[in-house]
Structure 1
Amino acid sequence: MAHNRYLVVSDLHLADIEDHADGWKRHKSSAWIYDDEFDRMVAAFEADGDPDDRLTLILNGDIFDFDLVTAVPDPAPWPVGPLEHEYGLAATAPKSAWKLERMLADHPRWIATLGRLCRDGHRVVLVIGNHDRELWFPAVTRVFVDAVSAVVGHAVPADRLYVEPWFFYVPGEIYVEHGHQYDYYSSFRYNLEPVYEMRGEQHLALTTGNLSNRFMLGNIGYFNPHATDFILSLVGYVKHWFRYYAFTRRWLMLTWFLGSVRSLAGLLNIRGRLKRNPPRDYDRHLDATAERYDIDPDTVRALYALRREPITKRAFKIFREFWLDRLTLAVLMVLGTVTLLVAPVPVWLKVMVPLTGFPLLWFIYQWLAGNDNALTLEQKTHTYAHAIASLVPVRAIVFGHTHVPNQIPLSRDVTFANSGTWAPIWDKEKLEHAAGLRNYVAVAVGEHGRCDVHLGSWMELHPGSAAAKSLSDDRPTR
């Protein structure tokens, strides 16, 4: 058997529980809690090894989803603004610590699993992703560590339970990173110091993906933010509105518009503050990483250089991401139609331009603008794994982030895998679990450098409409 065994899971998206009878925010419902299944999976891997084997559970990012927590304490121990009451607390150390405490309170079995693993002499490593980047604050990390230690009954040694801000690496064996830095919708400008100063307090410099979830998707409760059902065509959005909003008191268009404006304002505010006051001596974080893993500093800088610059440097992409470009074009077309109606021009021109010219202009614009989005970006992740394999000696490279489980051989000796997701994703018609998820990547390193990489799903096979549906038909994302 192997001497070192690694169990990698990612994108659990644990949050506080909300139950609504009408299906609003179904992704936060108690019906989708999987803590018992997670415990059984970890226990099975614990048992499947020799007594002298060491199991490392690597929680590879987006384990918690801070963006989904909209609750506010009452009374609050600190000032809470109007936007926070509507969209959730700001991403500061004390408020994020409170959010994590609330999430953990709804998942005692999950924390107990980690505690048992540490108590049995194994190791737990949490690599921060984009939706749980608030763990960067030491106070928030302390909440997590203290919760696990409370289960154990004493403080867990720092080498058996810790949080990594970037990656986990064992030379010659494994490299694990969440992968959001290769996605310009989710990458942080300064991933290892992702904060800015406002009113004397550090705030997390949220990405496009974070802000979209907080201000839009988190308040459009009939969309599942863990899947792709929120990426629709214009006709698709109209159908969605008729089905869920037309005869209710909830607003889709207003929520989208206000959320887009607030997300855009937040992005511009963060970009401006980081531009005026970037972190001082940022390279110290890279040097600390090099020292911690005994990697040449130039190699660490080469790894860091692989990241994608965030979308905040691409004004058109920002505008398009929130559909503001299409809104502007639609408004101009409406104004053009009204102008033609009142203008002294031939009737055929009044009719033909709105009915043929404007639709043609719309399709030409859509073609020129391109279709690069979160779904197309996920197809390129293995290329970054290739680059990493050329920089550090490893046998297995594991990412998360895309929610799409896959395994690709990079060479005779190196394998890349994506650890998929445990987030609530279901078949839309029967509300059954989507097949093939609740994933894990098991890496076993034995004598003479032999390395076995296995991508699996901790789900029973239930033939039916959900099981027959290919994952590629509705690929989940972030």
Structure 2
Amino acid sequence: MGNQYLVMSDLHLCDVEEHADGWKAYKQARYVVDEEFASLLDHTAGRFEAGAREPGSGLTLVLNGDIVDFDLVVAVPEEELFEVSPHERKRGMVPTAEKSAWKLERVLADHQGFVEALARFAARGHSIVYVMGNHDRELHFPEVQRVLVRALRAVAAERGLRLPSEPIRFEPWFYHVAGEIYAEHGQQYDHYASFRYVLSPVVQTRRHGPVIALPMGDLANRYLITMMGFFNPHASDFILNVFCYAAHWFRHYAFSKRGIVWNWFWGSVLVMTELLAMKKRIHTRPLRYDACLAHAARRAGLPLSTIRALGALQPPPITTRFYRIAREFWIDRLLIAVLMLVGSAVLALSPVPLWVKLMVPLSSFPLLYFVYEWLAQGDTIFTIEHEVPRYARRVADLVGVKVVTFGHTHRPRIIPLDPGTSFVDTGTWAPILAGSEPVPGYRNYLLVHFDRGEPSVKLDAWKTPRAVVAASVVRAA
């Protein structure tokens, strides 16, 4: 047996919170997956070490993005380590190197089992690669990377383990092994979550200095979803029609002290304001970006022309389409509702027949609204999911590998691209929904082993509870 790869994505580890009313249930301790993650690593390493191997072959763990979810961490330090504004105390800290390092320390404190599992895996002589996604892009900062490395070394020292000099390799874009595997998180093919310059996502700000220029999807998680805690940010339950939103409000908010309407409106304003303020800086090409591309080519063992071609596949972020942003936050519907109310008031005060005053608001306005909705249809996260295999095929053609794997969509699937070439979407470990209640995630993993250059590909779920299996059947249906 030759090289073997264990690939996982979308664990979405964050700090633990407990609320009696079910607020932010996805952050409860019962959804911590450290034990299952550790047992999978130990099991895979044990089987690899016990099997017959080709000389020079190895086992590599690929953490393919969104392993840590910085967007969901709204905790702040109790001591005054740095300035924290009232806005940050409510919606989470700005993604600077210093604050992001503290957030990672906070997350790892609640996930010591995860750290110990990685340390044991590395101490056994196996490789670990961390490919950054959109929710853990703050690992771009070397200071944040060092937090994870220090945590591994601290556990190793405590347990008497010996780690290699580089226990974990960080990749900002993708991981590539010639002729075998290409692993990328996949957010670059989703214009709601992509970075204009993925190798250089930092912009300079007047108040905070260098910060990560977060995409719309991540800003929405920070400013809206964390303030609307009865939604699960790891599922798509927050994408509803107006009637379902009304039912959600009645069920969770009508008889509680928590609110949603103001949090939705003000959070939407904050996201759009920040995107507009950052738009020019986001789309200004970094001065040394050609050098970044050349370094990526050398690191991956690919021609620079191939790196440029991979970059050309990526659609531009949605920051260039302000109307679509407003529509995603329902601001367009709000404006239409206001215009309809104003129009109804004008009609009520006008010297026109009573039937006109009644029929126009009751029939013409709703008809115009439905016509508008039909005309305004566009891409959603669901349509983007269907495009992912097409991008994977283009990637496979460019780099010449047998396995292309992405995460990001939380949709586990294997799709043959060509004879001997497969695309694998690695699903998620984050909580999902069974009906209206969150349950543990699929706990998906991809295991690829090569024998004489040919891959054996297995996409499976590790110790998945029955409720999760039932939920996956419902979703597939």
How far did 1:431 drift? 4.8
Any idea what SS the aligned residue of 2:401 has?
coil
How has the CA–CA distance of structure 1 residues 330 and 407 changed in structure 2, closer, same or farther, with 3 Å as cutoff? same
Contact conserved, 1:12 with 1:64, CA < 8 A, in 2? yes
Asked if 1:322 corresponds to 2:334, the answer is no
What letter corresponds to residue 442 of structure 1 in structure 2? Answer: L
Contact conserved, 2:200 with 2:286, CA < 8 A, in 1? yes
Contact conserved, 1:177 with 1:399, CA < 8 A, in 2? yes
Corresponding residue number in structure 1 for 2:359: 352
Corresponding residue number in structure 2 for 1:94: 98
How far did 1:202 drift? 0.3
Contact conserved, 2:429 with 2:440, CA < 8 A, in 1? no
How far did 1:461 drift? 5.9
What letter corresponds to residue 321 of structure 1 in structure 2? Answer: E
Which ranges in structure 2 are unaligned for 5 or more consecutive residues? none
Query: Deviation per CA, 1:38-67, whole angstroms, max 9, x where unpaired?
Result: 111111111222265521110000000000
Query: Deviation per CA, 1:233-263, whole angstroms, max 9, x where unpaired?
Result: 0000100111111111211110100100001
CA distance in 2, matches of 1:408, 1:385: 10
Any idea what SS the aligned residue of 1:228 has?
coil
Query: Deviation per CA, 1:158-182, whole angstroms, max 9, x where unpaired?
Result: 5541110000000010000000000
CA distance in 1, matches of 2:321, 2:93: 28
What letter corresponds to residue 23 of structure 1 in structure 2? Answer: G
Query: Deviation per CA, 1:155-212, whole angstroms, max 9, x where unpaired?
Result: 8445541110000000010000000000000001111110111137101101001100
CA distance in 2, matches of 1:315, 1:145: 40
Contact conserved, 1:59 with 1:127, CA < 8 A, in 2? yes
Corresponding residue number in structure 1 for 2:185: 178
How has the CA–CA distance of structure 1 residues 248 and 140 changed in structure 2, closer, same or farther, with 3 Å as cutoff? same
> What RMSD over aligned residues (CA atoms) do the two structures have, in Å?
1.7
Contact conserved, 1:62 with 1:130, CA < 8 A, in 2? yes
Contact conserved, 2:125 with 2:164, CA < 8 A, in 1? no
How far did 1:149 drift? 2.1
Corresponding residue number in structure 1 for 2:249: 241
Corresponding residue number in structure 2 for 1:476: none
Any idea what SS the aligned residue of 1:125 has?
strand
Any idea what SS the aligned residue of 2:5 has?
strand
Contact conserved, 2:439 with 2:468, CA < 8 A, in 1? no
What letter corresponds to residue 36 of structure 1 in structure 2? Answer: E
Contact conserved, 2:131 with 2:174, CA < 8 A, in 1? yes
Corresponding residue number in structure 2 for 1:281: 288
How far did 1:334 drift? 0.8
Which ranges in structure 1 are unaligned for 5 or more consecutive residues? 474-478
**Corresponding pairs, count:** 468
Please identify, of 106-115 and 425-434, the stretch whose mean Cα deviation from structure 2 is larger. Answer: 425-434
Corresponding residue number in structure 1 for 2:259: 251
Corresponding residue number in structure 2 for 1:368: 375
How far did 1:379 drift? 1.1
Any idea what SS the aligned residue of 2:4 has?
strand
Give the TM-score normalised by the residue count of structure 1: 0.95
Asked if 1:442 corresponds to 2:447, the answer is yes
Match of 1:201 among 198, 209, 213: 209
Corresponding residue number in structure 2 for 1:218: 226
Identity %: 47
CA distance in 1, matches of 2:150, 2:166: 15
How far did 1:471 drift? 2.2
CA distance in 1, matches of 2:468, 2:408: 28
Please identify, of 96-105 and 154-163, the stretch whose mean Cα deviation from structure 2 is larger. Answer: 154-163
Corresponding residue number in structure 2 for 1:425: 432
Contact conserved, 1:15 with 1:64, CA < 8 A, in 2? yes
